[in-house]
Amino acid sequence: MKLSTLPENPLDAVALAAGLVPTPLLDTIIALLLARTVMVGTRLGVFEALAHGPLPAVAVAARCDADPHAMEKLLGALVGAGYLRVRAGRFTLRPIARKWLLRDSPHSLADALLLQFVDARFIEHTEAYVRTGQPVRMHEAMDAEEWGLYQRGMRSGARLSLAEVARRVPVPRRARALLDIGGSHGAYAAALCRRHPGLCATILDLPEAIEHAAPLLAREGMGERVVYRPGDARTADLGAAAYDLILIANLVHHFDDATNRDLARRAARALRPGGILVIGEVIRPSTPGAGGQIGALTDLYFAVTSEAGTWSFAEMAAWQRAAGLRPRRPIRLLTAPGGGLQAAVKPVE
Ligand SMILES: C[S@@+](CC[C@H](N)C(=O)[O-])C[C@H]1O[C@@H](n2cnc3c(N)ncnc32)[C@H](O)[C@@H]1O
């Protein structure tokens, strides 16, 4: 998947074909405006206000506690952006907004969009990072409100691929114990436990994360089958031969190569023979030119925020191999743009 410049009418198509379209302007000011417009619409509650039918701008403004004239501008921008339709002065949701942004939609990404206000703050640091090599170290830079947005945003984003991940993560037969490292909201652990009735899970995450993620896990209704263990994945003793499955989803992009090698080594030790370590990630192309807008841009973003970046399947498999595990074929996820799973098995002696 990638963002790209598309013509809106035949004249645009001619201009595009003739090389007259100023793509850098679309990639910058238009992309910035588009992002902010959809984010602000979400934070003000515009989509919720329109959930039950068409309304004029003045009524949307009243429901969102906003200025009517300014709201009309925002609604117009959302029409242009393809999220709303307008007829006879009344605004209504397009399917893209109804499916992805309404809170009671099973696909809602509303909380993931609110997290993007935190992302936007960190993205501001990109130039300073490139000049100095100093990342913002997001896990040390967030206040309590941002930790809450972070955990709820991760839960919201996990909806995209929850069912596919639960189905495609290889689980050893008769598996009993899962360790979900950096597991946050616990949605993956809960989905795996529901699919494998003999399985119980421990989620290892930072104490600040657990404080805000625990209410999200409580909503899963898993009781004692999914529990938290506060700790730092970079240093925690994971034990020996204690787990059948270890999942590390969307965490290794925060760590450098040496930290990930060490984490894989401790995870391998913590697996029982025949146990499986699964790393789920946004996958970086193996070379910068190998395509992949999402993998390449998020590689920069995670460098800005954590002094690390995304990793290729080959790099993750190398950590697993060095830890004495046998990597399996990479799995590309259909439901998570740019995402994949790299699994490896602990040999039975
Ligand atoms: C990007 S979120 C991914 C959450 C979840 N695994 C998912 O895929 O939706 C990364 C998680 O790792 C946690 N984390 C970051 N650094 C950590 C560390 N050093 N030790 C343990 N957890 C960490 C964060 O608190 C956060 O919950």
List phi, psi (to 5°) of 44: -80, -15
* Ligand 1 closest atom vs CA 233: 20
pLDDT score of 291: 55
Q: Are residues 288 and 229 in the same domain?
A: yes
- Domain-embedded: residue 4: no
- From the CA of 243, how far away is ligand 1's center (Å)? 19
pLDDT at 338: 83
pTM attached to this predicted model: 0.93
DSSP label of 253: G
Q: Are residues 189 and 239 in the same domain?
A: yes
Number of structural domains (the chain) is 3
For ligand 1, atom 25, name the residue with the nearest CA.
209
128 & 94 share domain:
no
3 falls within a domain: no
Give the end of a domain, one of 121, 154, 187: 154
CATH code for the domain of 327: 3.40.50.150
Enumerate the H helices of 172-256 as residue ranges.
187-195, 207-218
Question: 191 and 258 share a domain?
Answer: yes
Find the helix packing angle between 187-195 and 144-158, rounded to 10°: 30
- Pair 201, 316 in one domain: yes
By alpha-carbon position, which residue is closest to atom 11 of ligand 1? Answer: 182
Query: Do residues 96 and 114 share a domain?
Result: no
Q: Let me know whether 195 and 132 are in one domain.
A: no
d(CA 184, ligand 1 centre) in Å: 6
233 belongs to a structural domain: yes
The one-digit pLDDT tens for each residue of the chain (349 residues) are 889 999 999 999 999 999 999 999 999 999 999 999 999 999 999 999 999 999 999 999 999 999 999 999 999 999 999 999 999 999 999 999 999 999 999 999 999 999 999 999 999 999 999 999 999 999 999 999 999 999 999 999 999 999 999 999 999 999 999 999 999 999 999 999 999 999 999 999 999 999 999 999 999 999 999 999 999 999 999 999 999 999 999 999 999 999 999 999 999 999 999 999 999 998 887 777 675 788 789 889 999 999 788 899 999 999 999 999 999 999 999 998 889 999 999 999 7
User: Do 174 and 236 fall into the same domain?
Assistant: yes
Residue 2 within a domain = no
Query: Distance from the CA of 256 to the center of ligand 1, in angstroms?
Result: 14
Return d(Cα 64, Cα 71) in angstroms, integer.
9
Give yes or no: residues 233 and 323 share one domain: yes
CB–CB of 161/340 below 8 Å?
Answer: no
Is residue 183 domain-resident?
yes
Ligand 1 centre distance from Cα of residue 245 (Å): 17
**275 and 208 in a common domain:** yes
pLDDT value at position 299? Answer: 86
My answer on whether 268 and 325 are in the same domain is: yes
Please give the residue range of the domain that contains residue 297: 161-345
We report the CATH number of the domain holding residue 19 as 1.10.10.10
Give a yes or no: residue 286 inside a domain: yes
Closest CA to 35 of 73, 78, 71: 78
* Residues near 339 by beta carbon (within 8 Å), at least 6 away in sequence: 161, 280, 281, 282, 283, 332, 333
Q: What is the pLDDT of residues 31-84, one digit of tens each?
A: 999 999 999 999 999 999 999 999 999 999 999 999 999 999 999 999 999 999
Are residues 207 and 326 both part of a single domain?
yes
Q: Which residues line ligand 1 (CB under 6 A)?
A: 139, 154, 158, 182-184, 204-206, 209, 232-234, 249-251, 254
Whether residue 5 lies inside any domain: the answer is no
Average pLDDT, the chain: 95
Asked if residue 74 is part of any domain, the answer here is yes
Q: What is the DSSP string of 19-57?
A: T-S-HHHIIIIIHHHHHHHHHHHHHHTHHHHTTTS-EEH
